[in-house]
Structure 1
Amino acid sequence: MKDKEEKNLQFVLRYYRYGKLDTTKALNKIVGNRQRNNLHRLWLYSSGIAASILICIVSYTLLNRSSNIVSVTANAEITRHFLPDSTLAILAKGSTIEYNSDNYGKKSREVNISGKVFFSVRRNEQSPFTATAMYAQVKVLGTEFEIDEHMQDSVTNVYVKSGKVMFKGKNSSKGIILAKDMSGILKHGNEMPELTSAAFPNPSAWATGKFVYKNTPIDAVMKELSLYYGTSLYASEHFKTITAEFRTDNLDEIISLIEKTLDIKITKKE
């Protein structure tokens, strides 16, 4: 140990020159570099943690948001979907509904729609039901209604099968009240809808699967059935009326029943 110390001392005496080595400066340089390196490493480490936390927060938010949104699309055929409160939504082909499964039914029941959708809404006065399309909005407590958004024609139609609804523009505070068997139309760009007459006795037959007639003129029945089935029907008499209910799954059976009930002849032309 003593020999090692003497060798170190001789080395210093041999090579030391006054003024050539500033020990304080050298020490500060070494310590400073270490501090800067440590600070740099600390900054990179902290930045990495912050970035990781931010990524986790954003990822959780997006995943949480997407996991709460329920989207239903009728791709190839009419689709039936029950909402969390047992409200039934029947979607025509190509139509879509969306809603937040976590929020639905707590203070309100809100769905977004596109296309043509029939709703049979379960009544709940503490939680109003709202269906919102791109340009229109319908608010109800409990009823059966249809909302049909025609983007090509720039109009939205609403038909009420039972109960009452408030029909208005999406961003409007005023609207019109529609009751049973009433219809309304909103031209896109307008704030207020207008009352209109339903084109046929059963606008929602596609959803309910039934034709219901009450003292309906036979010519109106023929027009509705012709449009629904894509054919042309003609009755041998034009002044009779009919009260009846038919399922929509068999046109030939409907024709046969009408002919027997009214004692008339119906001609079908493809």
Structure 2
Amino acid sequence: MNPEEEDHIIPLITSYLQNEVNSEERRYVEHWIHLSESNKLDFEKYTAVWEAASKTNVFDSVDIDQQWDKFLDTTKIRQQEKKRSKNVFFKIAASVVILLGLATYFFFNMNEEVLLVAKNGKENKFVLPDATNVWLNKGSQLIYSKGFNNKERKVTLKGEAFFDVTKDLDKPFLISCNETITKVLGTSFNLKGDPVTRETELILLSGRVEFSSENGKKILEAGDKISASPDGALSKTRSYNPNFSSWRTRKLIFEKTLMDQVIKDVEIRYRKKIRIEDNQFRRCKLTASYDNESFEDVLQTFKILFGIHVEYIDSETVVIKGGSCKS
């Protein structure tokens, strides 16, 4: 926002927040807000500052005449502007220069922690202040403090997320999840913390990370998988499952995969519970790929390929009966 635009819009926003605008001024402010994402963010900042100032009674400590005169002198407003009445609107306008100088204080004191929550039916992709991309799985949360990206990049994960971390050699990216800490400089990986069992699992897609618990730490390379039990015991293996982040990609890929593993991946992808009655079906193999297919469509292919029967117990649980590998 250039200085001329700022001088013009700030008093209007202040009056708008006080509900002291006419219909034409209201339309102007609302049109300005929707002109750009930057304007929208500026309006949210001014609103936050104004509300914070109101709650902390900052206006009660302002000398109206003194601050208004300073405001006029600083912005070199035309002499005739000084004749306007000094009601509550101008009281706020006179203080706005001081308040904007304190914007960071008020804004961040209202937001000591930033909480990102995955919503149903949404992509749930978030961009952090350092340009790191984060995808949160359904029901997951990510928390970071107001000082993120100043001296360190530290977040707390509750649930499951896929991270594509922006590289910064001077500021390692730290993730606290259950009883573990993951330290990275710039990489992509899937991290899952089970809130019930307190088990934590990380699968590294690219780059290099340090994964630690109270029992030690291990360095992971691309393709590694590590699990941490509630007592901190670490188990590191190689990951050969391409579907570890299917909840994010909405894709499933199987190459001569045993149906026992296929069903596990399908359960994770669609958040369903699937029971198999016939153990013979577990030993069948599947080569197929699914790209954003519905759960019902996936089951339909199983019916065609293996001749299974499906019984729905409820919206979250199904039972698979029968099934022949030669179908």
Q: TM-score range by the shorter chain?
A: 0.5 to 0.7
CA distance in 1, matches of 2:193, 2:282: 37
Residue 175 (structure 1) aligned with residue 217 (structure 2): yes
Partner of 1:195: 236
The corresponding residue for 1:161 is 205
> Which residue pairs with 2:195 in the alignment?
151
User: Residues 162 and 181 of structure 1 are in contact (CA less than 8 Å); yes or no, is this contact kept in structure 2?
Assistant: yes
- Residue segments in structure 2 that go unaligned for 5+ positions in a row: 1-60, 62-103, 312-327
Matching residue within 168, 185, 196 for 1:124: 168
Q: Does 1:113 align with 2:157?
A: yes
Q: 1:155 to 1:256 in 2, by over 3 A?
A: closer
- Aligned to 1:157, the other structure's residue is in SS state strand
Q: Distance in 2 between matches of 1:95 and 1:201?
A: 22
CA contact under 8 A between 1:118 and 1:145: conserved in structure 2? yes
Q: Kindly tell me: are residues 266 and 147 of structure 1, through their superposed partners in 2, closer, same or farther at Cα, counting changes over 3 Å?
A: farther
Q: Which residue of 2 aligns with 1:221?
A: 262
Shift of 1:163: 2.9
Which position in structure 2 is the counterpart of 1:70? 114
Q: Is the 8 A contact 1:159 1:183 kept in 2?
A: yes
1:83 counterpart residue number:
128
For 1:69 and 1:225, the matched residues in 2 are separated by 35
Give the RMSD, CA atoms, in angstroms. Answer: 3.8
Matched AA of 1:117: A
Q: 2:290 — aligned with what?
A: 246
Verify: 1:136 aligned to 2:177, yes or no: no
Instruction: Return the offset for 1:118.
Output: 2.0
- Return the letter of the residue paired with 1:167: F
8 A contact 2:179–2:230 mirrored in 1: yes
Give the whole-Å Cα distance in 2 for the aligned partners of 1:265 and 1:196. 32
TM-fit CA distance, 1:153: 1.2
Amino acid at match of 1:188: P
Q: Cα 1:95–1:227, aligned 2, differ >3 Å: closer, same or farther? A: closer
Tell me, in whole angstroms, the C-alpha distance in 1 between the residues paired with 2:303 and 2:237: 32
After superposition, the Cα gap between the structure-2 partners of 1:96 and 1:245, relative to the gap in structure 1 and judged at 3 Å, is: same
- Using the TM superposition, give the Cα deviation of residue 211 of structure 1 relative to its aligned residue in structure 2, in angstroms: 1.9
- Corresponding residue SS for 1:206: helix
The one of 86, 97, 105 aligned to 2:142: 97
User: 1:188 and 1:168 mapped to 2: Cα distance?
Assistant: 13
Per the TM alignment, residue 206 of structure 1 is displaced from its structure 2 partner at its CA by: 0.9
Q: Distance in 1 between matches of 2:257 and 2:139?
A: 32
**Partner Cα distance (1:121, 1:141) in 2:** 7
Letter in 2 for 1:177: I
Query: Judging changes above 3 Å, is the alpha-carbon distance between structure 1 residues 218 and 188 closer, same or farther for their aligned structure 2 residues?
Result: closer
| Residue matched to 1:204 | 245
Note the alpha carbon deviations across 1:97-152, whole angstroms, 9 max, x for none: 12235441x44322122222221223333432211124111111222222222232
Residue by residue over 1:11-34, the C-alpha shift from the partner in whole angstroms, topping out at 9 and shown as x without a partner, is xxxxxxxxxxxxxxxxxxxxxxxx
Q: Quick one: distance in 2 between partners of 1:134 and 1:232?
A: 29
Indicate conservation of the 8 Å contact 1:71/1:97, yes or no.
Answer: yes
- Give 1 or 2: higher helix fraction: 2
Greater displacement, 108-117 / 221-230:
221-230
Runs of at least 5 residues in structure 1 that lack an aligned partner in the other structure: 1-51, 53-59
Q: 1:81 to 1:267 in 2, by over 3 A?
A: same
Give 3-state SS (helix, strand or coil) of 1:124's partner.
Answer: coil
CA distance in structure 2 between the aligned counterparts of 1:216 and 1:152, rounded to whole angstroms: 29
What is the match of residue 45 of structure 1?
none
Structure with bigger gyration radius: 1
